[in-house]
Chain A
Amino acid sequence: MAGLLERRAADPRLGGIIKLAALAVGGQGGGVLTSWIEDVARSNGYDAQATSVAGVAQRTGATVYYVEMAPKGDGTPVFSLMPAAGDVDIMIAAELMEAGRSIMRGFVTPDRTTLIASTHRALAVSEKMVPGDGIASSEEVLAAADIAAQRFIHADFDQLAIRNGSVISASLFGALAGSGALPFPKQAFEDAIRRSGKGVEGSLRAFNAGYAAASGEALPEAPAQPEAAKPRLRGPKKLVAAFEALEARIARLPEPAQELACAGLRKVVDFQDLAYGGEYLDRLERVAGLDRPPHDLTREAAKYIANAMAYDDIIRVADAKTKAGRRDRIAKEMGAKSGNLLQVTEFLHPRAEEIVSLFPARMGARWAANPDRMALLGRLFDKGKRLRSDSLTAFLQLYVLGGMKGWRRRTLRHAQEMAHLVVWLDRALALAPRDYDLAVEVIRCRRLVKGYSDTHARGLSKFDKVLDGARMVEGRPDAADWTRRLREAALKDEEGKALDGALQTIRSFV
């Protein structure tokens, strides 16, 4: 065609534009980070432009900040206001899934992008609200980042900042300096922090920690994790000896089940007593007797029988709240210093059902069946209690409750739990010879029973539904697989919509 354009070589000065994007979650100080970066650039002979989106996105949502810079020249460079896919030199992600998002959006490319990412997680609501485990896979993002980025610099910059009494913007700024991706000396970065004039000391400490992490400078070695040695057992000699005798029985269980049996034994003994530990092992040995390699049945039973036996009753809660070491743990978590006092308020809300569950089994059952009596108990007890467990009276209440282990075996709750356990275990063991995999899945369904009050009731009802579903598919070659699917569906949402859907599907073909 006419009027051909003169082709010319790309402007070499274009290569001088450094394009830097930062993805942060609202409240991480992305704005501060951006203004530091701009400042470094401008005070080192660069033109710079920054943009951000201020608005509701900042209310805990994901937000993009963007900076472009180029060495000062004869004119005013035309900078873009938005990062473009495939055209970002430095990508800073202030959280791991935001790093994933930056990769998804094409801001991280192997030909040019230095990706600086914090590996910590700020979980999204969608990950947190599922009744099971909905946490996204960090490994997938890390693996993708290794492929997508030209250089991938990552560390838990959030921890580095917190440890230095600052926020992540400072440690990421340090990482940016340490990465060497910007042509400015470390001093220039530190000057920018000083000029900003706010929280300078903390910011500089976090900056240096980030710098060290990114530049590969020797970090103070994290204390080597002691080999997963068995935690030390302490206690009266007689009890220790008796416990060791129980432990000796574990060695005779199939090897794949031993680790979980060890943990399970500790859990049930801690929950009740040594005799209870013995019962745990009795049950386990019965399972092992019917098992065959690869011994999945015993391994899973070791876990779920322990969880079923160490059910969550008032006594266990009260014991946990009055155990040795709790106060120190809380003080450490709260960052209390010496000279500070610690007041601890517990939020308890026992209902009539919980009160009755502590009654002797038969009497409890009678009361539970009598609406008038339950209403009376409700009037007496069913209200929120806030106990100051650092006060003597409240502590004593909990302490006494926590010491009622001797009474526990007589309670209605114990009778109910044991009955439930027997039915479930017998069912699984009866299945084992016919459909081994299904038996294992039935054992695993115990995972659905958890929580307190309504949550616990909902868990039980899901457990029943899944086992009913398992009964429907029994005899089919894919029965175990369906049962697994049902269980996973049950953990997806609170109301059990996914589970009902899955059951519907089963009903359609059986």
Chain B
Amino acid sequence: MAERSFKAEVEHLRLGEGEVFTGEGILAITKALLESGVGYVGGYQGAPISHLMDVLADAEELLSELGVRFEANANEAAAGAMLAASVHYPIRGAVTFKGSVGVNVASDALANLASSGVTGGAMVIVGEDYGEGSSIMQERTHAFAMKSQFWLLDPRPNLTSIVKMVSDGFDLSEASNTPVMLMVRIRSCHVTGSFTCRDNRPPAFTVKDALADPRSDFARVVLPPMSFAHEQDKVKNRWPAAERFIRERKLNEFFGPAAGPDGPRIGIVVQGGMFNGVVRALQRLGLADIYGQSDIPIYVLNVTYPLLSGEFLEFCAGKDHVLVVEEGQPEFIETQLGSYLYRAGSSVELHGKGLFPLAGDYNGTVMLDAIEAFLRKVAPETLPAAVRAPNQERPEIPDLSKTVPIRPPGFCTGCPERPIFAAMKLVEKELGKHQIAADIGCHLFASLPPFEIGGATMGYGLGPAANAAFDGGGKRRPVAIIGDGGFWHNGLSSSFTNMAFNKSDGVAIVVDNFYSAATGGQDIMSSRADNDTKSTKNPISRALKGIGINWVREIDRTYDVARMRDTIREALTTPEKGPKVIVASSECMLNRQRREKPLVAKAIKAGRRVEAPKFGVDEEVCTGDHACIRLSGCPSLSLKRLDDPLRDDPVASIDQSCVGCGNCGEVADAAILCPSFYRADVVHNPGGFEAWWAGVRSAVIGWLVRRRTARRLDFGGVA
């Protein structure tokens, strides 16, 4: 079960014609898919569309009622390949994954799909992970759409526009026999708002119908000579069809005063997703009202690929200056529009990058500054007086950049991956620094302080493959880290068979936390949960044995730091040849707490015996060296300043969020740090004998303590 449940929200997906839906972007997209008569859906989780996968999984009942097949695909390539169902059959299908990395993984399938062309509408919903809050390299999906001729939809970021674009997108896909990508940015996925619903529509032709009546047509196969025909078909038929459809259906929008002899001689062209940002800047400059009615003509590209030369040139007619608002680089749109103007022999001056920064997201400040600079340059009289000549004195706000610490993401409280890296750090203290390749997943946080383990990541499931050059061995064995998510996503084939086939002498550590954890706790092949519709409980070790890797060590409790350390040391020093794999398994603490907390509370309430563990620090014993923190970084293990004039440094302190995972005690033991940690188990509802015996013990201990106290000076706990 995923980290966040949408069971309650999914009920809103049943709303009918005319009813108003209020909620999040991803739910609106799901509703739009159902209203569009989609026949199958799938995808692979990853921010910012992880929750879209969770919504689909939680909506499985409704989907099957409508005859819609939901597939939690093994990876983005599998999701992309699934769209093959729309090649021959008039079935609408949608898959979702993140861009640009998910698109990269899916690229083989997507390129083939685009070449074959589609009969039923095929849509990829891409969560564009760009700008603030992004967790990946900063690239654009746009380039991919261009190279394979996928139409790229970038609707204005409000629920009504997004929902409409899903429906229009399917129509566009069918009208032009071309798959489409619907791009939603990080914040659009979770933007809230309302839209008016239509009835859900069961697919006219279902995947079951297709199996009852299979079709094939070799003209669709990507083989010569058909592949050459596909290319010709793309530019001669599909592209013009798309252009016609986009114009007729008015997918792109115009705001502000119409062109004309008295109209303004400037204009703005904007990607749909950037529209609200532009309007906000105009609002702040006094050039737009609250509803987005602008004094400056705006041409909104809800379809950013293909760009319509005719529509754009008409917008430019009668204007002297046009500003292109295009986030990210390279600036494909600006370049293309410039070429349209040049070929038309137009004298319109095009502005864009330069006023806007080449790279980075267009946040409120960037947008305001760039649009203001544009207006100052080409139409200063439009700017309000206060902007033209600011004379407001602003108080100097102290610079906090040296004070406020950065706060990158890290392992959660009680995370089972922490002890793995604590053990790794201990081994490196013994054996020296190693070549370590990391993968994608929570475990990548180990590359940050306090662990600083691993220096590069080459992609999901590619950790061990990234060490391939070192497979031949050397003075110290190379180590690769990979998560269970990465293992099943792509790791088994790309990383482990690569190791096995090439007789790698390296070490790989599989961090098995029972979920695809970083993306929100979705189930995967080796998850331990019961799942009605998915096959779980398939051990990673069996897969490894299956491809001939025999040196496999399974650790079923990662918190055992000493055993973890000894096993890693063994893997690094054993004379045995061939790949050495350690599968380190313990459940993701975030998900475990979510699962267990209510059960524990219930058990305590019901009077059953429950032991609740938590760690503590004897502050008198702690010397404030913080060695424990350098092997942990746990959010619940913090510092506190003591009210003791003799102490200089703050001591370790464990707050109430501790879940008693055990790492602190294990690390203190394995690294021989200090005796300040203790674990306290509060026993709720103890048994009768247990309580009596505890009473006896505490009476004896109490007597001993009092005896000693009576013979010494007691400084009131201050000494």
In this complex, what residue of B is CB-closest to A4?
B381
Which among A52, A75, A131 is the interface contact of B625 at CB below 8 angstroms? A131
Q: From known contacts A62-B407, A341-B694, A345-B678, infer whether A392 and B701 are also in contact, taking CB-CB under 8 Å.
A: yes
Distance of A315 from chain B, by nearest CB (Å):
12
Contact yes or no, B686 A341, CB < 8 A: yes
Does B697 interact with chain A (Cβ within 8 Å)?
yes
Which among B409, B639, B656 is the interface contact of A58 at CB below 8 angstroms? B409
In this complex, what residue of B is CB-closest to A390?
B697
Contact yes or no, B638 A270, CB < 8 A: no
Which among A82, A104, A243, A333 is the interface contact of B616 at CB below 8 angstroms? A333
Distance of B468 from chain A, by nearest CB (Å):
27
Contact yes or no, B708 A403, CB < 8 A: yes
Distance of B601 from chain A, by nearest CB (Å):
11
In the docked arrangement, what's the CA distance between A316 and B620, Å? Answer: 9
Interface size class of A (residues with CB under 8 A): 35 or more
Complex interface: chain A residues within 8 A of B685 (CB)? 339
Complex interface: chain A residues within 8 A of B712 (CB)? 235, 239
A 116-155 to B, binary, CB cutoff 8 A, 1 in contact else 0:
0000001111111111110111001101100110000000
Complex interface: chain A residues within 8 A of B209 (CB)? none
Contact yes or no, B694 A5, CB < 8 A: no
Does A485 interact with chain B (Cβ within 8 Å)?
no
Does A54 interact with chain B (Cβ within 8 Å)?
yes
Complex interface: chain A residues within 8 A of B686 (CB)? 340-341
In the docked arrangement, what's the CA distance between A320 and B620, Å? Answer: 7
Contact yes or no, A60 B623, CB < 8 A: no
In the docked arrangement, what's the CA distance between A1 and B22, Å? Answer: 46
**A170-178, A206-214, A447-455, A466-474: which lies at the B interface?**
A447-455
- List residues of A (342-362) whose CB comes within 8 Å of B's CBs: 342-349, 351
In the docked arrangement, what's the CA distance between A464 and B577, Å? Answer: 45
Q: From known contacts A87-B364, A450-B625, infer whether A140 and B398 are also in contact, taking CB-CB under 8 Å.
A: yes
Does B406 interact with chain A (Cβ within 8 Å)?
yes
B 614-635 to A, binary, CB cutoff 8 A, 1 in contact else 0:
1010101101111101100101
Does A220 interact with chain B (Cβ within 8 Å)?
no
**Number of A-B residue pairs with CB-CB distance less than 8 Å in the complex they form:** 436
In the docked arrangement, what's the CA distance between A403 and B614, Å? Answer: 28
In the docked arrangement, what's the CA distance between A455 and B264, Å? Answer: 73
In the docked arrangement, what's the CA distance between A208 and B315, Å? Answer: 56
Contact yes or no, A80 B280, CB < 8 A: yes
- List residues of A (48-100) whose CB comes within 8 Å of B's CBs: 48-64, 66, 70, 73-87, 97-98, 100
In the docked arrangement, what's the CA distance between A2 and B265, Å? Answer: 7
- List residues of A (376-414) whose CB comes within 8 Å of B's CBs: 384, 386, 389-392, 395-396, 399, 402-403
Complex interface: chain A residues within 8 A of B694 (CB)? 341, 390
Does A6 interact with chain B (Cβ within 8 Å)?
yes
In the docked arrangement, what's the CA distance between A52 and B656, Å? Answer: 27
- List residues of A (315-333) whose CB comes within 8 Å of B's CBs: 316-317, 320-327, 330-331, 333
In this complex, what residue of B is CB-closest to A10?
B286
Q: From known contacts A84-B363, A324-B706, A455-B625, infer whether A9 and B717 are also in contact, taking CB-CB under 8 Å.
A: no
Q: From known contacts A53-B186, A131-B626, infer whether A147 and B398 are also in contact, taking CB-CB under 8 Å.
A: yes
In the docked arrangement, what's the CA distance between A135 and B426, Å? Answer: 26
Does B416 interact with chain A (Cβ within 8 Å)?
no
Contact yes or no, A347 B397, CB < 8 A: no
Contact yes or no, A82 B683, CB < 8 A: no
Complex interface: chain B residues within 8 A of A10 (CB)? 283, 286, 384
Complex interface: chain A residues within 8 A of B328 (CB)? none
Does A306 interact with chain B (Cβ within 8 Å)?
yes
Chief secondary structure at chain B's binding surface: loop
Does A288 interact with chain B (Cβ within 8 Å)?
no
Complex interface: chain B residues within 8 A of A252 (CB)? none
Contact yes or no, A61 B409, CB < 8 A: yes
Contact yes or no, B618 A321, CB < 8 A: yes
Does A215 interact with chain B (Cβ within 8 Å)?
no
Distance of B577 from chain A, by nearest CB (Å):
32
In the docked arrangement, what's the CA distance between A497 and B408, Å? Answer: 24
Does B230 interact with chain A (Cβ within 8 Å)?
no
Does B700 interact with chain A (Cβ within 8 Å)?
yes
Which among B409, B450, B681 is the interface contact of A57 at CB below 8 angstroms? B409
Complex interface: chain A residues within 8 A of B397 (CB)? 103, 144, 147-148
Does A195 interact with chain B (Cβ within 8 Å)?
no
Complex interface: chain A residues within 8 A of B697 (CB)? 390-392, 395
Does B648 interact with chain A (Cβ within 8 Å)?
yes
Contact yes or no, B50 A54, CB < 8 A: yes
In the docked arrangement, what's the CA distance between A153 and B48, Å? Answer: 33
Complex interface: chain B residues within 8 A of A335 (CB)? 656, 682
Contact yes or no, A270 B665, CB < 8 A: no
Does A423 interact with chain B (Cβ within 8 Å)?
no
Contact yes or no, A70 B290, CB < 8 A: yes
Complex interface: chain B residues within 8 A of A324 (CB)? 705-706, 708-709, 714
Contact yes or no, B680 A344, CB < 8 A: yes
Distance of A222 from chain B, by nearest CB (Å):
16
Contact yes or no, B716 A78, CB < 8 A: no
- List residues of B (665-681) whose CB comes within 8 Å of A's CBs: 665, 668-675, 677-681
Complex interface: chain A residues within 8 A of B650 (CB)? 133, 135
In the docked arrangement, what's the CA distance between A494 and B627, Å? Answer: 8
Which among A1, A303, A322 is the interface contact of B705 at CB below 8 angstroms? A322
Does B231 interact with chain A (Cβ within 8 Å)?
no
Does B289 interact with chain A (Cβ within 8 Å)?
yes
Which among B401, B449, B639 is the interface contact of A123 at CB below 8 angstroms? B639
Contact yes or no, B192 A60, CB < 8 A: no
Complex interface: chain B residues within 8 A of A124 (CB)? 405-407
A 471-510 to B, binary, CB cutoff 8 A, 1 in contact else 0:
0000000000000000000010010000000000000000
In the docked arrangement, what's the CA distance between A453 and B68, Å? Answer: 64
- List residues of B (538-563) whose CB comes within 8 Å of A's CBs: 562
In the docked arrangement, what's the CA distance between A8 and B287, Å? Answer: 8
In the docked arrangement, what's the CA distance between A62 and B562, Å? Answer: 33
In the docked arrangement, what's the CA distance between A52 and B47, Å? Answer: 12
In this complex, what residue of B is CB-closest to A17?
B290
Contact yes or no, B48 A55, CB < 8 A: yes
- List residues of B (392-429) whose CB comes within 8 Å of A's CBs: 394-398, 400-401, 403-413
In the docked arrangement, what's the CA distance between A233 and B645, Å? Answer: 18
Which among A2, A103, A239, A452 is the interface contact of B623 at CB below 8 angstroms? A452
> A80, A321, A325: which has the most chain B beta carbons within 10 Å?
A80
Which among A61, A162, A234 is the interface contact of B407 at CB below 8 angstroms? A61
Contact yes or no, B713 A53, CB < 8 A: no
**B212-220, B291-299, B480-488, B502-510: which lies at the A interface?**
B291-299
Contact yes or no, A5 B379, CB < 8 A: yes
Which among B381, B395, B706 is the interface contact of A110 at CB below 8 angstroms? B395
Does B240 interact with chain A (Cβ within 8 Å)?
no
Q: From known contacts A52-B190, A267-B646, A347-B675, infer whether A126 and B406 are also in contact, taking CB-CB under 8 Å.
A: yes
Contact yes or no, B192 A450, CB < 8 A: no
- List residues of B (587-620) whose CB comes within 8 Å of A's CBs: 611, 614, 616, 618, 620
Complex interface: chain B residues within 8 A of A7 (CB)? 381-382, 384
**A180-188, A258-266, A289-297, A425-433: which lies at the B interface?**
A258-266
* Chain B residues with a Cβ under 8 A of chain A: 22, 47-48, 50-51, 129, 132-135, 157-158, 160, 185-193, 262-266, 275-277, 279-280, 283-284, 286-292, 295-296, 318, 320, 363-365, 367-368, 378-379, 381-382, 384, 394-398, 400-401, 403-413, 442, 445, 448-450, 518, 520, 562, 611, 614, 616, 618, 620-621, 623-627, 629-630, 633, 635, 637-639, 641, 644-646, 648-650, 656, 665, 668-675, 677-686, 690-691, 694, 697-698, 700-701, 704-706, 708-719
Provide a sorted-by-A list of 17 A–B residue pairs whose CB atoms are within 8 angstroms.
A5-B264, A5-B379, A14-B283, A59-B410, A70-B290, A80-B277, A81-B277, A82-B363, A127-B405, A131-B626, A133-B649, A140-B400, A307-B646, A320-B618, A335-B682, A349-B675, A452-B675
5 tightest A-B contacts by CB? A84-B364, A55-B47, A53-B133, A270-B719, A231-B716
Beyond the given pairs A53-B187, A101-B400, 8 more chain A to chain B contacts, judged by CB atoms under 8 angstroms and listed by A's residue number, are A64-B133, A129-B633, A131-B627, A239-B713, A266-B715, A317-B675, A321-B618, A403-B708
